[in-house]
C-alpha cells in the first residue's frame, strides 16, 4: 500500500500553515502553535475545522498504515478551509475590534485604574508647569530724611609715651626626674618571692616596660603565656623593633625583672642578678637594615624560672610587672654595636 493518503494530509496541512503565516501573521512551529497564535482573529467555526485537520495530521504521522476513508473528500475539505481563510481575512479587522472590546470589558477595573492614574499625573504636571508666579507686593516709597550735619569734635590730646617695661626673666629649666633604680634583690630557683622594700619599680597600671637606646625603637604589642617547643608553658612578650640608627641589627639581649604587684608593695620575683635569670635574647628573623621594622617574640624557655608554675600563674592573674632593658645589640655580622 502506498503512502498517498498520508501525503495528501501532510500537503493540505502545510498549505494551511503557510496561509496562517503569510496572511494572518501566525507564529510558532507546526499547525497547532500557528493556530493558537491567531485565536483572536480566525473565526471560531473555522478554527474548529482546522483542528480536525490537525488531528488527522497527527494520525498520519503516528500510524504506519494510515488510510483515509475518502481522499477526495478530505482534499475538498482542505480546499474549502483555504478558501474560507482567504475570505475571512477581509473581515478580520472588525473581529479584532470585537476582541479588543471584550478585553477592555474583562479588565475594566485595571484599565480604569490606569486611566485615573494617568489623568492625575497629567493634571499634576500641568499644574507644576503652568502655576502662576505670585505678583510682588507693592513697595512703599519712603522719602529719606536729610541727615543732620555732624558737629566737629575737638582733637584729642596726645597720650603720654608708656614707660619701658623690663623683660621677664627666663623661667628655670625643670629638673629631670631621676628614674627609680632597678631592684637588685633576686629570688632563688624554686624559693618564695623576696620582698621589695623600695618604691614601685614602674608606674601603676604598667604591665611591661621596655628600655632601649634611641637608635632602636621598641613598641610593646602584648605579653602572654604560650606553649613552648618542649610542651610546657612559658612567658612571651611580643614587641615591634624598628632599626633607627644602625646599618643592620640581628640580635637583642635584655636584662629582665618580674614583679608581683598583688600586694600592697611590689615584690621582686626574678631579677637579672639572680642565679635563675638567664639573659632574655630576641633573635630577629631577618637582619633589619636602617629604617626597617619587624615583629619580635621574646620567650623564656623551660630552663628558666620564667616557665615555672608560680610565675605562669602570676602572669595569668594580671597582677605583675615586667621590666626589660637592652644590654647588648648584635649586627648581621655577629659584631656588637655601640649603645
pLDDT digits (tens, 9 = 90+) for 278-295: 777 776 767 888 988 888
The answer to whether residue 280 is domain-embedded is yes
- Spell out a b/e string for 279-315, using b for 16 or more CB atoms within 10 Å of the CB, else e: ebebebeebbeeeeeeebebbbeeebbbbbeebbebb
pLDDT digits (tens, 9 = 90+) for 235-293: 888 889 899 889 898 888 888 878 889 888 888 888 887 666 677 777 676 788 898 88
State the pLDDT at residue 96: 58
Rounded CA-CA distance 66/8 in Å is 11
Q: Look at residues 50, 78, 98 and tell me which one is the last residue of a structural domain.
A: 98
State the pLDDT at residue 161: 57
State the pLDDT at residue 95: 52
Domain that holds residue 296: 194-330
pLDDT digits (tens, 9 = 90+) for 142-163: 566 666 666 667 666 665 555 5
Rounded CA-CA distance 336/329 in Å is 6
The answer to whether residue 72 is domain-embedded is yes
Contact 239, 207 (CB under 8 A): no
Q: How far is CA 277 from CA 34, 107, 228, 294, in A?
A: 98, 95, 18, 26
Q: Count of domains in the chain?
A: 2
Q: Look at residues 77, 98, 119 and tell me which one is the last residue of a structural domain.
A: 98
Residues 93 and 203 in one domain: no
Instruction: Using the Cα atoms of residue 219, residue 224, residue 227 and residue 232 in order, give the sign of their dihedral.
Output: positive
The answer to whether residue 338 is domain-embedded is no
The answer to whether residue 117 is domain-embedded is no
State the pLDDT at residue 187: 36
Residues 207 and 326 in one domain: yes
pLDDT at 316 over 80: yes
The answer to whether residue 127 is domain-embedded is no
State the pLDDT at residue 145: 67
CATH of the domain at 241: 2.60.40
The answer to whether residue 186 is domain-embedded is no
Name beta bridge partners: 321. 259
pLDDT at 77 over 70: yes
The answer to whether residue 184 is domain-embedded is no
Query: Which residue, chain included where needed, has cell 625603637?
Result: 217
The answer to whether residue 19 is domain-embedded is yes
- DSSP assigned state of 241: E
Tell me the pTM: 0.41
Q: Look at residues 38, 65, 98 and tell me which one is the last residue of a structural domain.
A: 98
- DSSP assigned state of 308: S
Contact 339, 213 (CB under 8 A): yes
Amino acid at each position: 500500500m502506498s503512502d498517498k493518503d498520508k501525503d495528501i494530509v501532510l500537503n493540505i496541512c502545510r498549505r494551511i500553515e503557510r496561509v496562517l503565516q503569510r496572511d494572518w501573521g501566525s507564529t510558532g512551529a507546526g499547525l497547532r502553535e500557528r493556530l493558537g497564535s491567531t485565536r483572536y482573529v480566525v473565526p471560531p467555526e473555522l478554527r474548529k475545522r482546522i483542528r480536525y485537520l490537525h488531528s488527522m495530521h497527527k494520525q498520519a504521522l503516528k500510524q504506519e498504515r494510515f488510510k483515509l476513508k475518502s481522499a477526495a473528500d478530505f482534499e475538498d475539505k482542505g480546499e474549502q478551509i483555504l478558501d474560507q481563510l482567504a475570505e475571512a481575512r477581509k473581515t478580520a479587522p472588525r473581529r479584532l475590534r470585537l476582541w479588543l472590546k471584550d478585553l477592555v470589558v474583562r479588565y475594566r477595573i485595571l484599565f480604569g485604574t490606569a486611566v485615573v492614574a494617568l489623568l492625575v499625573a497629567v493634571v499634576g504636571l500641568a499644574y507644576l508647569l503652568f502655576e502662576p508666579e505670585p505678583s510682588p507686593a507693592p513697595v512703599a516709597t519712603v522719602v529719606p530724611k536729610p541727615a543732620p550735619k555732624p558737629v566737629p569734635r575737638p582733637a584729642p590730646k596726645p597720650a603720654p609715651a608708656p614707660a619701658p617695661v623690663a623683660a621677664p626673666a627666663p623661667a628655670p629649666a625643670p629638673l629631670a626626674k631621676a628614674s627609680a633604680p632597678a631592684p637588685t634583690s633576686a629570688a632563688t630557683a624554686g624559693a618564695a618571692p623576696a620582698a621589695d622594700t623600695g618604691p614601685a619599680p614602674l608606674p601603676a597600671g604598667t604591665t611591661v616596660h621596655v628600655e632601649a637606646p634611641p637608635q632602636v625603637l621598641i613598641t610593646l604589642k602584648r605579653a602572654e603565656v604560650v606553649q613552648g617547643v618542649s610542651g610546657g608553658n612559658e612567658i612571651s612578650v611580643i614587641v615591634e623593633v624598628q632599626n633607627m640608627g644602625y646599618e643592620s641589627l640581628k640580635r637583642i639581649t635584655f636584662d629582665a625583672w618580674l614583679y608581683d604587684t598583688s600586694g600592697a608593695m611590689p615584690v621582686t620575683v626574678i631579677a637579672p642578678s639572680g642565679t635563675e635569670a638567664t639573659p632574655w635574647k630576641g633573635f630577629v628573623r631577618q637582619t633589619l637594615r636602617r629604617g626597617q621594622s619587624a615583629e619580635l617574640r621574646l620567650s623564656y624557655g623551660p630552663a628558666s624560672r620564667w616557665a615555672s608554675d608560680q610565675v605562669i600563674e602570676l602572669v595569668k592573674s594580671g597582677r605583675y610587672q615586667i621590666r626589660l632593658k637592652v644590654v647588648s645589640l648584635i649586627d648581621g655580622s655577629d659584631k656588637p654595636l655601640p649603645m
